[in-house]
Structure 1
Amino acid sequence: MKALTLNEIAKAVQGKNELGDWGTLSVSKVAFDTRKIEVGSLFVPLQGNADGHDYLADAMKSGATASFWSRPLAEAPKDFPVIQVEDTLQALQDLASYYLALIQPKVVGITGSNGKTTTKDMTEAVVSAKYKVHKTQGNFNNQIGLPITILEMPEDTEVAILEMGMNHPGEIAELSLIAKPDIAVITMIGEAHIEYFGSREKIAQTKMEIVKGLKPEGVLIIPGEEPLLQAEIQKIMPINYCTFGQSPLNDIHVLTTETQMKETHFTMNLAPELSCKIPVIGQYNVNNALAALMVGKQLAVPVTDAVEKLATFGLTKSRTEWIPGMNDSQILNDAYNANPTAMNAVLDSFSALELNGRKLVVLGDMLELGELSTSLHESVAAHLNPEHISEVFLFGPEMEKLSNKLTSCYAPEKLHYYSTDKAALIEALKATIKKEDQILVKASNGTGLGEVIEAIKQTD
């Protein structure tokens, strides 16, 4: 982060108090977690389950230079600079907007029901072929994480790639207005968080909120085969947009695809002579790669360089990540997040792989599906075939619906269901896994299947 003086920060967030001699002090880091405080940090005391103001003493001990403050000024420490604001979260967001305007990078905003993080990682690889890039780390993609990501941006950043997540309507609009993207990407429309929206149509409308802060000359990149987004586009025309997908009608589209165990090869219309490779499986990941390549095209990245970078992009942990398993097996770890569209897509890709050994799947509950949970869990049955998937292990109360659906096609000894007993699931897997088995693990993060992966992975 470029160093900012306290006077500069106070002006940016409309701080109320006079800093006096403290105003010339500078900070080079912003943090809301006292464990992340370093010497020269600005502490942001957020209010949630606990009130961050109560931890100011800890921040001071760790080296904080100053703090935002929304309590009465009389309650602030007398020997430490604070900037009084009405709302510390709003002040954090205002400071992020100021800092973006100061550094002036091109901003790429990425949202979608699934594939946000993978597309972000791919886009970073593509754009880094030409520019100095800063991107969202981990899942720092909400009203707190996005401004922190912006404020961690080095002074020489040329392109900022910002992931935008949501649970409720209005959240993407808020993030877009902070980031003011030059390029906005929607990866796909699925059923994630449908409990809070009621329908895929509402989810599509909410994802389209990303255009709220889109600069007038900006461009929107969307999947061309999603009719819900095409309908939303018509409501906001005129807008500069382009599409990606499988159909030749898209601005960037696939010509050929070949999936292997740990990588996928494809060709596309922007440069039909080039063989493109991504180090992950699945047609859905090819779509993510097309979106990243379209961002590169908008930023004038040479396509040859973009394709070369894409071949070795670094994938965020737990996203379709192969890791060694016990008994010389292989685990495809995709246990960070799940919704029906994403689960069905990875099952189809996993089923299509030509591998030695058996294929096993471990599936956990898909959360936040509301009244549609039963039908959406049952729908996964269409993507499980005993001819391709030898055994199925299901975990969580909601997965009982899928288990009941599968009894007509899987023998009892090949179908295993555990409502809450994770230890029993682990023991069953340990007794089942053989040499050269391939095990897909997919679930919402809240099911805790990461513990299962830890238990069945290879140990030194």
Structure 2
Amino acid sequence: MKMQLAEIAHAVGAVNDFEQWRSISVTSVAFDSRHLQPGGLFIPLTGEQDGHQFIQSAIDHGAAATLWARDLATAPADFPVIQVADSLKALQALAQYYLTKINPRVVAITGSNGKTTTKDMIASILATQFNVTKTHANFNNEIGVPMTVLSMEPNTEMLVVEMGMDRPGQLDFLSKLVAPDIAVITMIGEAHIEFFGTRDKIADAKMEITHGLSEDGIIVYNGDEPLLRDRTANLNLRKRTFGQRETTDLFATNIEATSTSTSFTTNLWPDKSFTIPMIGTYNVNNALAALSVANVYRIRPENAQKALAAVNLTENRAEWVKGTVGEDILSDVYNSNPTAVKQVLAAFSQTPVVGKRYAVLGDMLELGTQADAMHADVASAIDPDKISHIYLVGSHMIALQKRLAQEKPDLPVTHFNAKSLPALTLALQDILTADDQILLKGSHGIHLEQVLAALQESKEK
């Protein structure tokens, strides 16, 4: 990004006179003064803290200018200031302006589970034939999406944007902000059901991603999901479906799994085998979503094969890592919901192993009044013949502990409260061997990443 302040001021509707600064150029934006690059535009946002108080830090880090949603008398003297009514709205307006200026094709992705992995897969495939910018990490909300847009290089041809939500209307806003050419919905689960009440209402909210679709836009969605089939039936949009059933436009055949990868063929390219460096049929669905987008943009299947095999995945999304003693750790500690837990348990239970399999399951958050019942229902996905010991973390996991005691009394189960992660770590270090596998799965708020880090350090450290 490179724009003069005069252009930025016009885009954000500046309310002050800054004639003396109009020709100054900025080359990036940041709302965290610590992450500002020299020549950047500082965006002081107001949340738990008021970003305006960090203006000196921004200047010290090389800011070329700043937005300012306060009285000019409180702004730094002799420094380029663009006064706006609301700095967040100004950030969003600037992103919309810049998006129109660069004019890439936009692919937007949402879903209760798998959206980050699908984003990574789509970006990897499109990058074989186009210049691509994708959402960094989980920058997928009202701040993150504009920041993703403003991170585009001028030669960007494809923008791949992840969109999250935790309330009705959020995807409506984000979709209209970027006006996607393709909207992808990976699946409907229970994530954030605390705020919605039912999966039906979650599906309604996910469908908001179509509200900003361009005139000839396409919706790509999981055709195995009745809630999505019902809601797309009467939509006057082009549609592409993927899934495991032959009734979808793109479905997988001949799925074969190893401990670290999954291979499959498809109905559209029956002579081409695709391999992804991860386990689970649910990840095959994510790959099918990406291949559906690839097909729209006429990506050569040979290129898609190479891209999926070498996809660079965002950290802590069902990735295999090595522990200190040589154990294989399946780390999936960024987020969690009942559907995702059941899926990863099913996949983990099928991986070849010489020693034993252990599973650490942390609380799934934001499930509201249904939380304990949904935690207890995870018992149906746990096979005592495949998993030697279950370790549970958090208050809601007590419900699962009780259910397992009733239905699978021979399965060893140990419960820890969320503040006892060091004790859990020690218990795991005492039993794990180089031949074992262990799954770590929980919502980010449980902080199982601390257990992961400890298992990758030596006991002496």
| Superimposed CA distance per residue, residues 127-170 of structure 1 (whole angstroms, 9 cap, x where no aligned partner) | 11110111011111111111111101101111010100111111
Matching residue of 1:453: 452
> Does the residue aligned with 1:167 lie in a helix, a strand or coil?
coil
Matching residue of 1:228: 227
Matching residue of 1:132: 131
Matching residue of 1:325: 323
Percent identity reads: 46
Matching residue of 2:360: 362
The AA in structure 2 aligned to 1:175 is L
Separation in structure 1 between the aligned mates of residue 457 and residue 262 of structure 2, nearest angstrom: 25
Mean Cα deviation higher: 61-70 or 73-82: 73-82
**Structure 1 residue 355, shift from structure 2 partner:** 2.0
Matching residue of 2:250: 252
> Does the residue aligned with 2:130 lie in a helix, a strand or coil?
coil
Instruction: Answer whether contact 2:333 2:443 (CA < 8 A) is retained.
Output: yes
Is 1:170 the counterpart of 2:143 in the alignment? no
Separation in structure 1 between the aligned mates of residue 61 and residue 326 of structure 2, nearest angstrom: 46
Separation in structure 2 between the aligned mates of residue 9 and residue 156 of structure 1, nearest angstrom: 19
Is 1:373 the counterpart of 2:371 in the alignment? yes
Instruction: Answer whether contact 1:400 1:419 (CA < 8 A) is retained.
Output: no
For residues 61-140 of structure 1, what are the structure 2 equivalents within 5 Å?
61-140=60-139
Unaligned runs of 5+ in 1: none
Is 1:193 the counterpart of 2:189 in the alignment? no
Matching residue of 1:146: 145
The AA in structure 1 aligned to 2:341 is M
Compared CA separation, residues 35 and 22, structure 1 to 2 (3 A): same
The AA in structure 2 aligned to 1:169 is P
Matching residue of 1:390: 388
| Superimposed CA distance per residue, residues 33-71 of structure 1 (whole angstroms, 9 cap, x where no aligned partner) | 000112211110100011111111211122111111111
**Structure 1 residue 320, shift from structure 2 partner:** 1.0
| Superimposed CA distance per residue, residues 285-323 of structure 1 (whole angstroms, 9 cap, x where no aligned partner) | 000000001111111111221122111111111111111
Instruction: Answer whether contact 1:7 1:24 (CA < 8 A) is retained.
Output: yes
Instruction: Answer whether contact 1:324 1:458 (CA < 8 A) is retained.
Output: no
Is 1:157 the counterpart of 2:148 in the alignment? no
**Structure 1 residue 263, shift from structure 2 partner:** 0.3
Is 1:304 the counterpart of 2:263 in the alignment? no
The AA in structure 2 aligned to 1:113 is S
Matching residue of 2:289: 291
Separation in structure 1 between the aligned mates of residue 97 and residue 335 of structure 2, nearest angstrom: 33
The AA in structure 1 aligned to 2:362 is G
Compared CA separation, residues 413 and 287, structure 1 to 2 (3 A): closer
Separation in structure 1 between the aligned mates of residue 309 and residue 121 of structure 2, nearest angstrom: 9
Separation in structure 2 between the aligned mates of residue 413 and residue 321 of structure 1, nearest angstrom: 26
Mean Cα deviation higher: 108-117 or 420-429: 420-429
Count of residues in correspondence between the two structures = 458
Separation in structure 2 between the aligned mates of residue 324 and residue 66 of structure 1, nearest angstrom: 45
Separation in structure 2 between the aligned mates of residue 80 and residue 308 of structure 1, nearest angstrom: 49
Mean Cα deviation higher: 298-307 or 100-109: 298-307
Matching residue of 2:266: 268
Instruction: Answer whether contact 2:111 2:187 (CA < 8 A) is retained.
Output: yes
Matching residue of 1:435: 434
Instruction: Answer whether contact 1:333 1:442 (CA < 8 A) is retained.
Output: yes
Instruction: Answer whether contact 2:42 2:66 (CA < 8 A) is retained.
Output: yes
**Structure 1 residue 458, shift from structure 2 partner:** 5.4
Separation in structure 1 between the aligned mates of residue 455 and residue 102 of structure 2, nearest angstrom: 46
Instruction: Answer whether contact 2:107 2:161 (CA < 8 A) is retained.
Output: yes
Is 1:314 the counterpart of 2:305 in the alignment? no
Unaligned runs of 5+ in 2: none
> Does the residue aligned with 1:387 lie in a helix, a strand or coil?
coil
For residues 47-66 of structure 1, what are the structure 2 equivalents within 5 Å?
47-66=46-65
Separation in structure 1 between the aligned mates of residue 61 and residue 352 of structure 2, nearest angstrom: 54
The AA in structure 1 aligned to 2:138 is N
Compared CA separation, residues 410 and 423, structure 1 to 2 (3 A): farther
Instruction: Answer whether contact 2:272 2:301 (CA < 8 A) is retained.
Output: no
Instruction: Answer whether contact 2:388 2:411 (CA < 8 A) is retained.
Output: no
Instruction: Answer whether contact 2:4 2:23 (CA < 8 A) is retained.
Output: yes
Matching residue of 1:217: 216
The AA in structure 2 aligned to 1:13 is V
Instruction: Answer whether contact 1:134 1:157 (CA < 8 A) is retained.
Output: yes
The AA in structure 2 aligned to 1:24 is S
The AA in structure 2 aligned to 1:442 is K
Mean Cα deviation higher: 321-330 or 141-150: 321-330
Separation in structure 2 between the aligned mates of residue 346 and residue 172 of structure 1, nearest angstrom: 27
Is 1:343 the counterpart of 2:341 in the alignment? yes
Instruction: Answer whether contact 1:173 1:209 (CA < 8 A) is retained.
Output: yes
Separation in structure 2 between the aligned mates of residue 327 and residue 37 of structure 1, nearest angstrom: 40
**Structure 1 residue 411, shift from structure 2 partner:** 4.8
Instruction: Answer whether contact 2:185 2:220 (CA < 8 A) is retained.
Output: yes
Mean Cα deviation higher: 402-411 or 93-102: 402-411
Matching residue of 1:238: 236
Compared CA separation, residues 298 and 413, structure 1 to 2 (3 A): closer
**Structure 1 residue 410, shift from structure 2 partner:** 4.3
The AA in structure 1 aligned to 2:205 is T
The AA in structure 1 aligned to 2:363 is D
